[in-house]
């Protein structure tokens, strides 16, 4: 799993318990031994040991590159490339092959966590923001405010969506194969912020946690399921003090994963 500058991943594992229970026929004298009649007469107790066999599960997940969040307060046209899991603005112009444009105030890539796990995975997310001095994290969309603030404010949230099937290519056959993952052809729709919903988390100075999604079980190693998430939002357009290059904004997302039972 690749390490990320602003993205951490914690895994919690739940093991499935299977009991191996020997068959026991109460009406068969041979099952109680040759002295069954004597045992019944004098009340002798019979006992057996039930041995538990642990069937564990490995959470097989891979996190894509997180990329960079672009702050674009003046809604300029920004050129970037987004091929698979790669997201960058470095040396990208309007003539760059595959260049895309955006004018949102917060431009961020879709981050994918691919699962090759054979059972569904419940995902709990903790989100925490950090800004430089002079910036406030807003609790609602700034664009929707009737009176625009005159100080530097950023409204941001992380939205989550699941993908039933993405793509993966194996480097070789066998247990030692490594996989290259590809995002789904149609990108999942990240929901708008909803304070009462479970699939969005507001970015604040204090960590906020929610159970955000359940990733479906993977169809196979080359047909993984996935969780997609993205930072979205807006910011003050014309504060009294202009935005400068030293203004900074970071989001830390911590995911806790728990295996769940396959639906029958």
pLDDT, tens digit (0-9, with 9 covering 90-100), for 19-28: 333 343 444 4
Inform me whether the pLDDT recorded for 203 exceeds 60.
yes
Task: Give residue for tokens 């899991």.
Answer: 85
Q: What are phi and psi of 40, to 5 degrees?
A: -65, -35
pLDDT at 86: 62
Instruction: Return the sign of the alpha-carbon dihedral for residues 16, 17, 22, 27.
Output: negative
Instruction: Tell me what percent of the residues of the chain surpass a pLDDT of 70.
Output: 81
Instruction: Return the sign of the alpha-carbon dihedral for residues 33, 36, 39, 45.
Output: positive
Q: Of 245 and 38, which is predicted with more confidence?
A: 245
Inform me whether the pLDDT recorded for 87 exceeds 90.
no
* Nearest alpha carbon to residue 62 among 12, 11, 114, 109: 114
Q: Of 259 and 99, which is predicted with more confidence?
A: 259
The tens digit of pLDDT for each residue in 215-234 reads 999 999 999 999 999 999 99
Q: Of 257 and 41, which is predicted with more confidence?
A: 257
3-state secondary structure of 127: strand
Inform me whether the pLDDT recorded for 101 exceeds 50.
yes
Instruction: Tell me what percent of the residues of the chain surpass a pLDDT of 90.
Output: 56
Order across the sheet with 99-102: list the strands.
86-88, 78-83, 99-102
d(CA 4, CA 88): 15
Percent helix / strand / coil, the chain, rounded to 5: 5, 40, 55
For residue 160, give every residue at least 6 positions away whose Cβ sits within 8 Å of its Cβ, in sequence order, or none: 123, 125, 190, 191, 199, 200, 201, 212, 213, 227, 228, 229
Inform me whether the pLDDT recorded for 79 exceeds 60.
yes
* Nearest alpha carbon to residue 125 among 259, 229, 261: 229
**Which whole number is the average pLDDT over 87-97?**
81
d(CA 82, CA 94): 14
pLDDT at 42: 63
For residue 43, give the H/E element and its range. Answer: none
Q: What is the pTM of this model?
A: 0.77
The tens digit of pLDDT for each residue in 155-201 reads 999 999 999 999 999 998 887 899 999 989 899 999 999 999 999 99
């Amino acid at each position: 799993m690749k390490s990320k500058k602003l993205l951490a991943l914690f895994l919690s594992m739940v093991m499935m318990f299977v009991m191996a229970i020997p068959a026991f026929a109460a009406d068969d004298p041979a099952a109680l031994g040759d002295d069954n009649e004597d045992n019944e007469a004098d009340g002798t107790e019979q006992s057996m040991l039930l041995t538990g066999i642990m069937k564990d599960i490995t959470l097989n997940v891979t996190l894509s590159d997180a990329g960079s969040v672009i702050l674009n307060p003046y809604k300029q046209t920004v050129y970037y490339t987004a091929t698979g899991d790669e997201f960058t603005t470095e040396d990208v112009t309007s003539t760059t092959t595959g260049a895309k444009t955006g004018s949102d105030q917060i431009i961020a890539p879709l981050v994918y966590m691919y699962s090759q796990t054979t059972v569904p995975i419940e995902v709990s997310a903790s989100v925490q923001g950090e800004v430089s001095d002079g910036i406030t994290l807003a609790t609602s969309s700034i664009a929707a405010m009737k009176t625009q603030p005159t100080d530097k404010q950023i409204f941001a949230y992380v939205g989550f969506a699941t993908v039933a099937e993405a793509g993966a290519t194996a480097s070789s056959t066998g247990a030692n194969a490594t996989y290259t993952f590809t995002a789904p052809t149609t990108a999942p729709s990240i929901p708008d912020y909803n304070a009462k919903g479970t699939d969005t988390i507001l970015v604040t100075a204090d960590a906020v946690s929610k159970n955000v999604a359940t990733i479906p079980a993977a169809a196979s190693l080359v047909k993984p399921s996935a969780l997609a998430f993205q930072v979205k939002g807006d910011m003050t357009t014309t504060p009294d003090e202009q935005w400068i290059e030293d203004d900074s904004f970071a989001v830390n997302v911590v995911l806790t994963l728990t295996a769940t039972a396959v639906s029958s």
